[in-house]
Amino acid sequence: MANSKFQLGSFENPVKFKEQDYCSLKDASLKSGSLFCDPTFPAEQKSIGMPEDPKPENAVEWLRPKDICDNAVFVEGSIGTTDICQGQLGNCWLLAALSCLTMHPKLFGKVVPSPQSLTQDYGGIFHFRFWQYGEWVEVVVDDRLPVRGGRLLFSYSRSKNEFWSALVEKAYAKLMGFYSSLKGGNISEGMEDFTGGIAYSQPVSAFKPPVLWRQLTASLSRGSLLSCFIQAKTWRDIGTVTSEGLVKGHAYAITDTDKVQSDSTEVLLVRLRNPWGFVEYKGPWSDKCKDWAKVEKSEIERLELKKQEDGEFWIAVEAFSSLFDLVELCSVSPDTLHDSSSSSSSNSASSWSLSSYEGSWVPGCSAGGSRKYRRSFWTNPQYQLSLNTADVEGEEDEDVEDDDDEDEEDKVALSPSAEKQKAKGQKCTVLVELLQKDRRRKGTVKFIYIAFHIYKIPPELQDSVGCLDQKFFTSQKPVGRSGKYQAIRGVYRRVNLEPGNYVIVPSTYRPNKPGDFFLRIYAKTGNTLGHEEFTCSTGFLNLVMSNPPMPEDQIRVDDWFDQEDVSDDRLDAAAFMGLVNSVLEKDYHLPIETCRQLVLGEDTGGRARLDRAQALKLVTSLRKLQSTFIDHDEDSSGTMSPFELAEALKESGLKCDSEVVKVLWERFGSGDIHLPFHGFVSCVTRLRGLNELFESAGPELKQHGMNTWLLSLLAL
């Protein structure tokens, strides 16, 4: 049983994936004498996630390690980078990250708990731990592995009797949904899921070769995971092998750096590993290159140079700089990020605080798109960050990139106050990362384009209640951003900001793209992060329903009552529908159900019939709502989007948060992203009734506020 003193989701007390407890399942297996068979990830084609090959010779069978190899072991000797070879699955990104992990025993032990064995206390069950959006998750698997022609179909070890890497791959595939979910990806995903750290990309061209070598050396010494790749210009180039023996669009693990003397010249070297386990670099300082003849034998032995096709090789840093495009780095501690020295204090990590939040982009409600979509951008989720003077770093600012892919006049720029503060060199360092969640869980990878922007909140708005509105975002420029929108799992940026209050806005490039996300911010202890919500006004419907009647409204209502055969001078829902639709424009006529809702919302003494005064009030209000609806129907479609609904309600006297708008839309929009006029009227009518109930409620119900009241009752 997990120690209760540790929070659920911590490494010491991980979340149990599929609610499977490793210890109890293993005990049951050992007591019964039968090997564990995992019902949640069965040994069937559906777990692979790809159509079955109809050819009999390509049939897949699921075998346990001891059925594949007589002397099967979990680990053969010690863990090493050559334990991992890529099989028939395009997941080099994951295996390269796993290769990097083997260089750090403590980190490796977090993912692959020990002891685990294929001989002692063997029950056919294994467990592994992965970081997932702020929490550690423990995944249990049986050891039945997909085999074709007697060989493992996917990941395998160069030691044919070793199976730990294949089992880690299976556990990760189970976490993602299928083996096919692992096709294609960025190595930073694997790095972060193996460590819980922050990963980021760095262009190789940013540094001269000797400086780059020192950066790589320092990063490795601090325990960072490193990889690199050559960018493929087109999809056709992915997987092609260059004349130097390097693969385009393919992830390589950076496993070491070193230097040797060749005659009188010092050569700076970088060691790389191809997850394929073969296809190696053929240039200078490759395994079988004659350059090694000029190096002392003792140096060659120290470097453990292996002249065999195992996927691992050395390359001079000058060649590395000219042939590779990007380096991926992942560090567990914020103090080791962007730090060219290795002299960080051992207890410096304690000076950082982590704030995190899980949110969603909901089409029509909180998926407002990029800054290009000015009328809806403000509806994206907003998170406040406060930086105080105690957190000032006293360092130069990192310039905000002017690489915006939005309107030309919408370029990112530092505010005048930020420029002034930059000159003083007084800044607070903040690390922000935005991850989109669960985009692999259905067998395919569907990343959407994401980014985040950071805005400084002016002093005059810092005490205002509610989220910042459209006017703010159209008049202000961001002081920081993640860069261009990218279709990758995570975007990251280190920013240096002056003390003050800020708002962070995560967004998708286009509006109405649904998705869940995880936002985390590292800042010096004392900074705070909060999710700012709208506050509802308790008197909003009085503004909506108390418009003074126009003379023409009075005439139309009187004429209707006088000319129609109105019993006891009152209108039922059907008669009221005739009156309303004679006043409203044709495209905005109301159906009988909406009219019934309006009639029942009035105090009719239980008769469900309107007198002249009530009919006049409703006609006047409906004409006002029609004008508001038309004003906010930007494309003149006769319908309204949820973004437009929020603005229309605000103009009508209601300022409600995205959660209220979302519930309203689910109730009256039926999941569509086009709301007709009668749906808008139903929203207002429903809110009117809830407002009256709230006003008449006792203090014990009011203590939770109008917003909570609306959310609880709108769902009824």
**pLDDT value of residue 443:** 61
In the block, which residue shows the tokens 């936002």?
519
Domain final residue, candidates 309, 336, 363:
336
User: Confidence class of residue 414 from pLDDT cuts 50, 70 and 90?
Assistant: very low
Is residue 563 scored above 70 in pLDDT?
yes
**pLDDT value of residue 172:** 95
Q: Which residues are catalytic?
A: 92, 250, 274
Neighbours of 534 (CB within 10 A): 21
**pLDDT value of residue 408:** 40
293: Cα within 13 Å, side-chain hemisphere: 3
515 and 569 in a common domain: no
**pLDDT value of residue 542:** 35
Does 345 fall in a domain? no
Query: pTM score, two decimals?
Result: 0.73
% of the chain with per-residue pLDDT over 70: 79
Higher pLDDT, 422 or 684: 684
Does 420 fall in a domain? yes
Neighbours of 529 (CB within 10 A): 21
54 and 102 in a common domain: yes
Does 343 fall in a domain? no
Lowest mean pLDDT among 39-48, 543-552, 605-614: 543-552
Q: Residue 607 is part of a domain; what is its CATH number?
A: 1.10.238.10
CA distances from 257 to 126, 195, 217, 282, 322 (A): 34, 22, 6, 18, 17
Separation of alpha carbons 315 and 260, rounded Å: 12
DSSP 43-57: SSHHHHTSPPP-SGG
Q: Is 452:434 a contact under the CB 8 Å cutoff?
A: yes
632 and 496 in a common domain: no
410 and 286 in a common domain: no
User: Confidence class of residue 548 from pLDDT cuts 50, 70 and 90?
Assistant: low
Domain final residue, candidates 531, 558, 587:
531
User: Confidence class of residue 377 from pLDDT cuts 50, 70 and 90?
Assistant: very high
550 and 504 in a common domain: no
Q: What is the DSSP letter of 413?
A: -
Q: Residue 518 is part of a domain; what is its CATH number?
A: 2.60.120.380
| Average pLDDT over every residue of 57-66 | 91
Higher pLDDT, 382 or 159: 382
488 and 559 in a common domain: no
**pLDDT value of residue 7:** 83
Q: Residue 276 is part of a domain; what is its CATH number?
A: 3.90.70.10
Is residue 412 scored above 60 in pLDDT?
no
469 and 444 in a common domain: yes
- The tally of domains found in the chain comes to 4
Q: What are phi and psi of 9, to 5 degrees?
A: 100, -10
Domain final residue, candidates 308, 336, 364:
336
β-sheet bridge partners, residue 522 = 354, 431
Is residue 341 scored above 80 in pLDDT?
no
217 and 138 in a common domain: no
Is residue 284 scored above 80 in pLDDT?
yes
User: Confidence class of residue 533 from pLDDT cuts 50, 70 and 90?
Assistant: very low
Q: What is the DSSP letter of 547?
A: P
Lowest mean pLDDT among 410-419, 484-493, 629-638, 644-653: 410-419
**pLDDT value of residue 202:** 84
Total length of the chain: 716
| Model pLDDT for residues 342-360, shown as the tens digit of each residue | 344 444 444 777 888 899 9
| Model pLDDT for residues 573-626, shown as the tens digit of each residue | 888 898 888 888 888 899 998 898 888 888 877 778 888 888 888 888 888 888
| Average pLDDT over every residue of 304-324 | 84
304 and 372 in a common domain: no
| Model pLDDT for residues 139-179, shown as the tens digit of each residue | 999 999 999 988 899 988 878 888 999 999 999 999 999 99
**pLDDT value of residue 390:** 53
Is residue 495 scored above 80 in pLDDT?
yes
Amino acid, single-letter form, for residue 399: D
Q: What are phi and psi of 446, to 5 degrees?
A: -130, 75
Lowest mean pLDDT among 297-301, 509-513, 567-571: 567-571
Does 341 fall in a domain? no
Does 192 fall in a domain? no
| Model pLDDT for residues 177-212, shown as the tens digit of each residue | 999 999 877 888 888 999 998 888 888 888 899 999
Does 263 fall in a domain? yes
| Average pLDDT over every residue of 287-301 | 80
For the chain, give the mean pLDDT. 80
| Average pLDDT over every residue of 212-221 | 88
35 and 155 in a common domain: yes
Q: Is 96:251 a contact under the CB 8 Å cutoff?
A: yes
In the block, which residue shows the tokens 């030309």?
408
Domain containing 656: what range?
A: 540-714
Instruction: Collect all residues with Cβ–Cβ distance below 8 Å to 258 and sequence separation of at least 6.
Output: 269, 271, 303, 314
Which two three-digit tokens encode residue 703?
């203590």
**pLDDT value of residue 638:** 77
Higher pLDDT, 33 or 309: 33
Is residue 501 scored above 70 in pLDDT?
yes
Is residue 537 scored above 60 in pLDDT?
no
Does 191 fall in a domain? no
Which two three-digit tokens encode residue 353?
């605080």
Is residue 544 scored above 50 in pLDDT?
no
| Average pLDDT over every residue of 463-488 | 85
| Average pLDDT over every residue of 525-529 | 56
Lowest mean pLDDT among 86-90, 286-290, 524-528, 665-669: 524-528
Does 239 fall in a domain? yes
693 and 654 in a common domain: yes
376 and 307 in a common domain: no
User: Confidence class of residue 460 from pLDDT cuts 50, 70 and 90?
Assistant: confident
Higher pLDDT, 386 or 705: 386
